[in-house]
Structure 1
Amino acid sequence: MNTLELFKATVNHIPHEEFLFFFHCTPDLDKRLRQYLNLKPQDSFEEYFDMPRVVHVSLKPPAGFRKPDFSKYYEDMDIPHNAFINDIGVLEIPGSMYHFTRYVSPLRNAKTLKEIEDFPYPNVDGWIDSHMAEEVRKAHENNKPVICWVGHIYETAWQIRGYEQFLMDMILNPEICEFILDKICERNMKVAQAAARAGVDWLTIGDDVANERTLMFSIEHWRRFMKPRWAKVIKAAKDIKPDIQVDYHSDGNIMDIIPELIEIGVTILNPIQPECMDPIEVKRKYGKHLVLKGTVGTQSTMPFGTPDEVKRVVRERKRTLGYDGALILEPTHVLEPDVPIENVIAFVEACKEKI
């Protein structure tokens, strides 16, 4: 089966011998894996390993676009020379290890609703989508499914406001939360609609809303602040393209909200961390509604298992979770520097085995 056929079989829960699978590396592991395989920076792991190929499309900024000047939000501090302000206005200060950075939020000191309202929130007004349909057409001609990353809502909101400030606002100043979330929701809805108009197969969305045991806040707060906004985004896309697949990501134990994610139109759930949730229980309860994506632990199997253990886990996932075809194999997050190269290769080899 080609990748597009495999994608269609997967999302329609049709059993098949092969599985879609993916992995992504942090910069340090990416560099070492390329050295090990004698690959150049421009070479593709997908091509080298003959992995499933997908095409990513996105809106393009208009000619002459420049991101807003966020410097005034950091006038009260000395900015380290190696720090940078990202596209949503958050200052990232590199840490002492690898790729990790510390966030400093632009609205951390805001006290009034006017200060919140005056912030230049990310938006796609005037952005260009005219190329997207042609890119989808060419991808389908080459038997590749097409993905569009829509974005976060909650994660973007707290990064702009500040983590503790946003959580306190949920209790003390809910109008601040509502305003920020609405601005981000509006932006994401426009991206989702553009993707649906272009004929994209697969939207990726999500927010990390849980820790390893439970949600980071009450389910009532999730229902008030996050659920209706994601419902609005998903509905906007499905009103245009009813069969568009919606891939929702959240780390942690999100068992409590899975039924409501299904209710609002999520069809693919990622990453099903085995350290936090039992993948077999998720499959038993919700497998007829969801494709499970991920399930191979990056806190356990990938960094600490042997290559044989990695292969055993992948084979077990195929047997216990992929019997109806509705499984996409993937480590549960980007592979960190502590993952042995041999385990990456073992993961690929086991994924490529036919059942």
Structure 2
Amino acid sequence: MTPRENLLHLLRREGYETVPVEFMLCPSLEKSFQEEIGGPGADYMEYFGMPWRRVGELIPEDTDITRFYPYYDEIKDNMEIDEWGVGHESSPTSMHMTKMHHPLEDAEEVEEIESYPIPVYTEEKNVWVKDRVKELHEKGLASVGNMQCTIWETAWYIRGMENLMMDMLSDEELAEAVFDMVEKMSTDRALIYAKAGVDILYLGDDIGMQHSIMMSEEMYSQWLYPRLKRLISKVKEVRPDIIVIYHSCGYIEPFINYLIDAGIDVLNPIQAECMEFKEIYEKYGDRISFHGTIGTQTVMPFGTPEEVKENVWGNLDIAGEKGGLMVAPTHLLEPEVPWANILAYAEACREYKKK
């Protein structure tokens, strides 16, 4: 099988030939990869033979971010405005992390929400996506439409988390206006990817914390679950065979049945420090597949190479011969992760022998 075919079979729990290697590097690790391993300009995804590629970010109709300037008292020199109008302020020590500024944090009326110049995405502006998908498939690679900030995160990035939480509890009209605006934009984006023929649509919103869910099940089922379900339903009307992966860090076990009912096919990352993969697999592994499970707070930065391999092999044994686990680090690999452990992870995938 090609890498694409092998991956799709694995995620559909139809068996697999080889264990795919997949991880993401922070900028400093990517630089060290080029300096120490791959050479100048080398692509680590190609070097390690990763089976998928993101097709690229969609282009909004209006790319002029100055339309968001009125939402800020000051645009600092160390601040960038993204295509949604969210401000990101960096500092000399922030590396790839930034302080976020929320353009609608002071909004008090529904009209202010409804007049917000949120980006519009159209197929006409993004005809290039089909060519990119075709190019990846011709190389034997799976294509991914990446929009891991889907509804909840996109909404609170724009409104501010505390404000949006308060809206959900005490000003439902404002909350409805924000979520409706974001749901439409996210659905438009998802449908562009689906119609272009991507194999995988990667959705996500962090709805868990280290040891608890971020909101009550009642709040989740009222505000987020129906919107995610509508979005996925529309996508699968267009592409019934598309694989929907959903990302949320943290402890989210109480939400998993909602996510399955909403239509997700694969859950990421089953954060090792927050949930036990064996327990989650035994409860849900007959209905969904998984991506992740190797801790980036623990074993990847602080374990030995042997411990990394044992984690990889142990989790693959849990999933068994039919697959259902794309084993990988649970998040972006940060500077404290040693290359010995990254290489051990890749070796463990390649050396694994199915029981």
| Letter matched to residue 175 of structure 1 | E
- Superposed CA deviations along residues 115-168 of structure 1, whole A, max 9, x for unmatched, are 222211132147523333343333323322211123421101111111111111
Q: Deviations 1:63-105 (Å, cap 9, x if unpaired)?
A: x842352111112xx5442122222111211143322111111
| Counterpart for residue 149 of structure 1 | 146
Show the counterpart of 1:71: 69
Equivalent residue, structure 2, for 1:39: 39
- Summarize deviations over 1:150-206 as a string: whole Å, max 9, x none: 342110111111111111111111211111111111112122222222222110001
- Matched ranges for 1:89-108 at <5 A: 89-95=85-91, 96-108=93-105
* TM-score, structure 1 normalization: 0.93
- Structure 2 residue 223 is matched with structure 1 residue 195: no
Displacement of 1:209 in angstroms is 0.7
Corresponding residue number in structure 2 for 1:327: 325
Which of the residues 242, 245, 269 maps onto 1:244? Answer: 242
Q: Where does residue 51 of structure 2 map in the other structure?
A: 52
Q: Does 1:85 align with 2:81?
A: yes
CA gap of 1:193–1:263, structure 2 versus 1, over 3 A, is same
Q: CA 1:54–1:254 in 2, change beyond 3 Å: closer, same or farther? A: same
1:172 pairs with 159, 170, 173, which one?
170
Q: What is the alpha-carbon distance in structure 2 between the residues aligned to residue 131 and residue 125 of structure 1?
A: 12
Gapped runs of 5+ residues in structure 1?
Answer: none
Greater mean deviation of Cα atoms: 134-143 or 24-33: 134-143
Change over 3 Å in CA distance of 1:124–1:67 after alignment to 2: farther
Q: CA deviation at 1:235?
A: 0.6
Q: Does 1:114 find its partner at 2:111?
A: yes
**Bigger Cα displacement from structure 2, 79-88 vs 310-319:** 79-88
Once structures 1 and 2 are overlaid, which stretch shifts more, 50-59 or 325-334?
A: 50-59
Aligned length: 351
Asked whether the 8 Å contact 1:122–1:184 carries over to 2, the reply is: no
User: Counterpart of 1:128 in 2: which secondary structure?
Assistant: helix
Quote the sequence identity (%). Answer: 35
Instruction: Tell me if the contact between 2:194 and 2:238 (Cα under 8 Å) persists in the aligned partners.
Output: yes
Aligned CA distance change for structure 1 residues 308 and 152 (closer, same or farther; 3 Å): same
In structure 2, C-alpha distance between the alignment counterparts of 1:142 and 1:30, rounded to whole Å: 23
Secondary structure at 1:107 match in 2: coil
Query: Quick check: 1:19–1:327 contact (8 Å CA) kept in 2?
Result: no
Q: Give, as a single letter, the amino acid of the residue that structure 2 aligns with 1:46.
A: M
* Alpha-carbon distance between aligned partners in 2 of 1:321 and 1:38, rounded to the nearest angstrom: 32
Q: Is the 8 A contact 1:247 1:266 kept in 2?
A: yes
Report the Cα offset of residue 234 of structure 1. Answer: 0.4
CA RMSD of aligned residues (A): 1.9
Instruction: List structure 1 segments (4+ residues) > 6 angstroms apart after TM superposition.
Output: none
Counterparts of 2:119 and 2:172, CA distance in 1: 21
Identify the range of structure 1 (260-269 vs 43-52) with the bigger mean alpha-carbon deviation: 43-52
For the structure 1 residues 219 and 53, does the alpha-carbon distance in structure 2 shift closer, same or farther, using more than 3 Å as the test? closer
Range moving further from structure 2, 105-114 or 253-262: 105-114
Q: Does the residue aligned with 1:155 lie in a helix, a strand or coil?
A: helix
